[in-house]
Amino acid sequence: MVKITELKDRGEIIGRLEEESLLEVIEHIVQIKSPIYFWIRYFGEEGHFYFREGRMVYAGSRSLRAKQSAYHLLAFRGGIFRITRAEIPGSENVDISWTEFQKNFLEEINQLVLNFIPDLEGKFALRLTDFRFKEIFSHLEPQAKELSNLLQKIFKAGLGANYKSLVRGVSEEVIEEQGEIFAVINYIPELRYFLAVAGERGEKELISEWLKYQFVPRLKEAVSIALRRSDRLVQRAGVIVVAEDPVLSEEISSALSSAGFKVWLCQDGFEALVRTEDYAPDVIILSSELARMSAGELFKRLKQKERSQHIPIICLVEPEKRKHAQSQTCGDIYLDLPFSAKKLVKLVENLLELK
């Protein structure tokens, strides 16, 4: 439970994150209809968030730029906070419905599990709960009732002590074995979640490796992905991608679409000029290697047009050809190939904040 104190003379509530995570505290905040200001400090990091009618409408912090603070809430895995009824700030940089975030988060978790299932030859069950064992997510393969029963048993065993050894970091996991099946439970401190998985003993090593190196790390990333997907301001942003190589086009499109952006693909500069007029994108990404119209010529024409002269243009270029591309002025910003999907998404988001 979160320890709180109400300062009635100032109309504030102050508290410290303990058993509940920041996500759970926000879940309570969004139930309040009046505008709310939420401040939190964890070591040297401070976060400032505004909420209105179940939505986060502003986010800021010391080390992260503007809306990046909204997407990386797990940076505040503890700390003290203050809740105040307040007016909404002059500017709003996000529009995240908490109901939408929760739906997207569950979809991300489900996809992580479904991607793993084909690797198994036998039965599998997974259950994710909060600190009080309230179910967040569960998955049970058909014909695996005994696994479900084992999960129930292992959870009941921890109801009294709340698995203190896991929470305090004394134990890394708790394992229960029963004949040819087993169950293992872990604790994820950033989320204050208990994670239990059951399967056949012959697949114990495979399942354990998946939990440690894939599911848990990606579960944390899923929070940021779901928050970004739920941000309507990001969803409104559109990006035109100009590349002749279909593989490169698909890689860029996949990275940006997963982050919630609208993406339009163009095979050459002439098509890009037409689509820019039609769609008025927020960012343009082009390959330095274009045949029918060079990247330099496309950049020049885009900057000459009133509707596109202020659109940021990212040029993707192989490192050894960067100097030539820069001499031809093929972009406002240059990004080396092969590119990192995370770096590309962050670059686009930063450009949108500067517009």
CA distance 183 to 190: 22
**Tally of residues, the chain:** 355
SS3 content of the chain, % helix, strand, coil (to 5): 40, 30, 30
Domain identity same for 307 and 256 = yes
Burial of 207 (0-12, 13-18, 19+ CB in 10 A): buried
Structure tokens at 213: 């190196």
Quote the distance between the C-alpha of residue 45 and its chain's center.
Answer: 19
Which helix or strand (DSSP H or E) is residue 313 part of? strand 313-317
Domain identity same for 244 and 158 = no
**Predicted confidence pLDDT, tens digits, the chain (355 residues):** 455 554 444 668 888 998 889 999 999 999 988 899 999 999 989 999 999 989 999 998 988 766 788 999 999 999 999 999 877 777 788 899 999 999 999 999 999 998 888 777 778 999 999 988 889 999 988 777 889 888 888 887 776 666 888 888 888 888 889 889 999 999 999 999 999 999 999 999 999 999 999 999 999 999 998 998 898 877 667 999 999 999 999 999 999 988 878 899 999 999 999 889 888 899 999 999 998 899 999 999 999 988 899 999 999 999 999 999 999 999 999 999 999 998 999 899 888 875 5
Total domain count for the chain?
3
What was the pLDDT predicted at 9? Answer: 47
Which CATH number covers residue 193?
3.30.450.190
Domain identity same for 224 and 109 = yes
CA distance 17 to 32: 19
Burial of 205 (0-12, 13-18, 19+ CB in 10 A): exposed
How does DSSP classify residue 231? B
Domain identity same for 223 and 115 = yes
pTM confidence score: 0.70
Domain C-terminal end among 230, 257, 288: 230
Domain identity same for 90 and 105 = no
- First and final C-alpha spacing in the chain: 42
Structure tokens at 149: 């029963």
Q: Is the peptide bond before 338 cis (omega within 30 degrees of 0)?
A: yes
Edge-to-edge strand list for the sheet holding 124-129:
135-140, 124-129, 193-200, 181-188, 174-178
Structure tokens at 28: 């309570």
Domain C-terminal end among 230, 257, 285: 230
Domain identity same for 153 and 213 = yes
Structure tokens at 96: 């995240």
Domain identity same for 288 and 337 = yes
Structural domain containing residue 270: 237-354
Domain identity same for 57 and 154 = no
CA distance 39 to 309: 39
What was the pLDDT predicted at 215? Answer: 94
Which CATH number covers residue 250?
3.40.50.2300
How does DSSP classify residue 34? S
Which helix or strand (DSSP H or E) is residue 336 part of? strand 333-336
Domain identity same for 77 and 162 = no
CA distance 226 to 229: 5
Which of 138, 139, 194 minimizes the C-alpha distance to 164?
194
Phi then psi for residue 139, to 5 deg, are -145, 130
Phi then psi for residue 252, to 5 deg, are -65, -45
Residue type, 250: E
Domain identity same for 82 and 112 = no
Domain C-terminal end among 230, 255, 285: 230
Phi then psi for residue 336, to 5 deg, are -75, 145
Domain identity same for 116 and 60 = no
CA distance 150 to 144: 10
Domain identity same for 120 and 77 = no
